[in-house]
């Protein structure tokens, strides 16, 4: 088990370097540097520009800049936002809990609904439920998520008035940001109606964001279950006279979960990508929204730092999934 972990960790290092290198090269290939934007300022002379350049280390050869950058990274310094002058890391810490809350709820929704649906569709193969599921999941996987979000707002918020249009919570509430997760914080604050407001704001974005993972999980579970249900050991379980429910859950699902878990891991990347669009549509103050704005504001430090952080996050999740896979599949142990 630990050897598995160590091997995976060792693989992460070159990927990490590659990721930072890619980010570094990409950003530095953007024409113009942070100093050039100051060319038109009053009192700017070539000497002062050169001084600023030197200050920022921009006159060093590229490889040295990269090494310096790596050193900075390892010390946890991701640079500063060109627009707000805040440290990128601080800004990320501010916005990340919102995204995490949204993504976690979306994933929970996808699993809670998708897994049982997939199991039932496999058990009742060829039924209306089965075809319905396949149809829905193809549709769900083919929808542009930003369109789905806007349509959902149109129907549920504007027409039916069930949910609010945007934001995380009604503006009249001020909630002490203890954990950064509004669901928890609003509950803890004890303010009447705060928690309910937070939930109402979360429902629609979570469902919209979770739709594509739902479709994928349901499909994956269905096909994994179909495969497993045809295996010899399921027949043996039936030959033992076990109840059908037990066979499905204890014998079949346990094995079917193995490929499903790997798919779950992949969903995290999809969730983060989808979060970018969902947050834009719902004006959700998370990391995705922050990154999109950084592109529009040409805040390249934020783009570079934020992208790097997300990449690291994805790598860690992949590592976690690998480990989980090793736990679930006894054939990999020892």
Partner 1 sequence: MSATVAAPGAGLFRRLLENPGAVAGLTIMVVLIVVAAAAPLIAPYGPAEQFRESFLTPPFQQAAFPLGTDSLGRDILTRLIYGARLSLLIGLIVVALSLTVGTLLGLAAAFASGVLDVAIMRLMDVLLVFPSLLLAIVVVAILGPGLTNAMLAVAVVLLPGYVRLARAAALGELAREYVVATRSAGAGVLRLMLLVVLPNCAAPLIVQATLGFSAAILDAAALGFLGLGAQPPTPEWGTMLADALQFYQRAWWLLTFPGIAILVTVMAFNLLGDGLRDALDPKLRR
Partner 2 sequence: MTTLLDVQNLTVDFGPFHAVEGIDLTVAAGEVLCVVGESGSGKSVSMLAVMGLLPRTGRVAAERVAFRGADLLHASPRGRRRLIGRDMAMVFQEPTTSLNPCYPIGWQIAEALRAHAAVPRAAIRGRVVELLGQVGVPAPEQRMRAFPHQLSGGLNQRAMIAMAIACDPALLIADEPTTALDVTVQKGVLDLLVGLQRDRGMGLVLITHDMGVVAETAQRVQVMYAGQVMEEQPAEPLFAHPRHPYTAALLDALPERAEGKPRLPTIPGVVPGAEDRPAGCLFAPRCRFRTPHCDAERPALRMAFGARVRCHYPLDDAGNPTGRPA
In the complex, which residues of this chain contact partner 2 (CB under 8 A)? 230-233, 235-244, 246, 251, 254-255, 328-331
Footprint of partner 1 on residues 15-34 (CB under 8 A)?
15, 18-19, 22-23, 26-27, 29-30
How many other C-beta atoms lie within 10 A of the C-beta of residue 105?
Answer: 19
Q: What are the residues whose beta carbons fall under 8 Å from the beta carbon of 222, sequence distance 6 or more?
A: 117, 118, 119, 121, 122, 130, 133, 134
**Which of 13, 14, 63, 160: binder of partner 1 (CB under 8 A)?**
14
| Residue 135: exposure state from Cβ atoms within 10 A (0-12, 13-18, ≥19) | exposed
At residue 193, φ and ψ (nearest 5 deg) are 85, -10
Assess contact for 133 and 222: CB atoms under 8 A: yes
For the CB of residue 249, give the shortest distance to partner 2 in the complex, in Å: 12
For the CB of residue 327, give the shortest distance to partner 2 in the complex, in Å: 11
Binding mask 80-119 for partner 1 (x = CB under 8 A): ----------------------------------------
**Which of 146, 173, 181, 325: binder of partner 1 (CB under 8 A)?**
146
For the CB of residue 296, give the shortest distance to partner 1 in the complex, in Å: 7
Distance CA 179, CA 98 (A): 10
Going 167 to 169 to 175 to 176, the CA torsion angle's sign is negative
**Which of 1, 154, 243, 283: binder of partner 1 (CB under 8 A)?**
154
In 143-193, alpha helices (H):
145-152, 182-189
For the CB of residue 198, give the shortest distance to partner 2 in the complex, in Å: 40
Distance CA 328, CA 334 (A): 13
Binding mask 250-289 for partner 1 (x = CB under 8 A): -------------------xx-xxx-xx--x---------
For the CB of residue 29, give the shortest distance to partner 1 in the complex, in Å: 6
Distance CA 27, CA 34 (A): 11
For residue 38, the 8-state DSSP code is G
If binding means CB under 8 A, how many residues of this protein chain bind partner 1?
Answer: 48
Distance CA 58, CA 38 (A): 14
Q: Which residues pair with 87 in a beta bridge?
A: 80
**Which of 291, 301, 321, 322: binder of partner 1 (CB under 8 A)?**
291
Measured from the CB atom, the residue of 42 and 331 that comes closer to partner 2 is 331
**Which of 144, 161, 241, 245: binder of partner 1 (CB under 8 A)?**
144
Distance CA 96, CA 141 (A): 26
For the CB of residue 120, give the shortest distance to partner 2 in the complex, in Å: 16
Measured from the CB atom, the residue of 190 and 241 that comes closer to partner 2 is 241
Q: Which residues pair with 80 in a beta bridge?
A: 87
For the CB of residue 246, give the shortest distance to partner 2 in the complex, in Å: 8
Does 296 help bind partner 1 (rule: CB under 8 A)? yes
Distance CA 148, CA 174 (A): 30
What is the binding site for partner 1 (CB under 8 A)?
14-15, 18-19, 22-23, 26-27, 29-30, 134, 138-139, 141-148, 150-151, 154, 158, 226-227, 230, 269-270, 272-274, 276-277, 280, 291-292, 295-296, 300, 303, 307, 310-311, 314-315, 318
């Amino acid at each position: 088990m630990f050897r598995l972990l160590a091997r995976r960790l060792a693989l992460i290092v070159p990927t990490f370097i590659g990721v930072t290198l890619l980010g570094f090269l990409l950003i530095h290939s953007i024409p113009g540097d942070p100093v050039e934007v100051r060319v038109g300022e009053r009192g700017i002379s070539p000497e002062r520009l050169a001084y600023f350049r030197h200050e920022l280390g921009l006159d060093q050869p590229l490889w040295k800049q990269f090494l310096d950058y790596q050193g900075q990274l390892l010390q946890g310094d991701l640079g500063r936002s060109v627009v707000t002058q805040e440290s990128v890391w601080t800004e990320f810490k501010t916005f990340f809990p919102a995204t995490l809350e949204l993504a976690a709820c979306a994933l929970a929704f996808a699993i809670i609904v998708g897994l049982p649906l997939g199991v039932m569709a496999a058990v009742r193969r060829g039924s209306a439920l089965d075809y319905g599921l396949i149809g829905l999941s193809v549709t769900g996987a083919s929808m542009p998520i930003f369109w789905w979000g806007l349509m959902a707002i149109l129907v549920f918020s504007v027409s039916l008035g069930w949910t609010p249009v945007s934001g995380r919570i009604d503006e009249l509430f001020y909630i002490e940001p203890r954990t950064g997760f509004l669901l928890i914080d609003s509950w803890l604050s004890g303010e009447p109606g705060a928690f309910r407001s937070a939930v109402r704001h979360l429902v629609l974005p979570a469902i919209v964001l979770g739709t594509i993972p739902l479709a994928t999980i349901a499909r994956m579970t269905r096909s994994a279950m179909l495969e497993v249900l045809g295996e010899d050991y399921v027949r043996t379980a039936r030959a033992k006279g076990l109840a059908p429910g037990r066979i499905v859950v204890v014998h079949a699902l346990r094995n079917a979960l193995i490929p499903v878990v790997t798919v779950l891991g992949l969903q995290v990347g999809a969730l983060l990508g989808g979060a970018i669009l969902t947050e834009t549509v719902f004006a959700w103050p998370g990391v995705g929204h922050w990154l999109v704005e950084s592109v529009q504001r040409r805040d390249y430090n934020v783009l570079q730092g934020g992208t790097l952080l997300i990449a690291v996050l994805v790598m860690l999740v992949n590592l976690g999934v690998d480990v989980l896979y090793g736990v679930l599949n006894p054939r990999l142990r020892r």
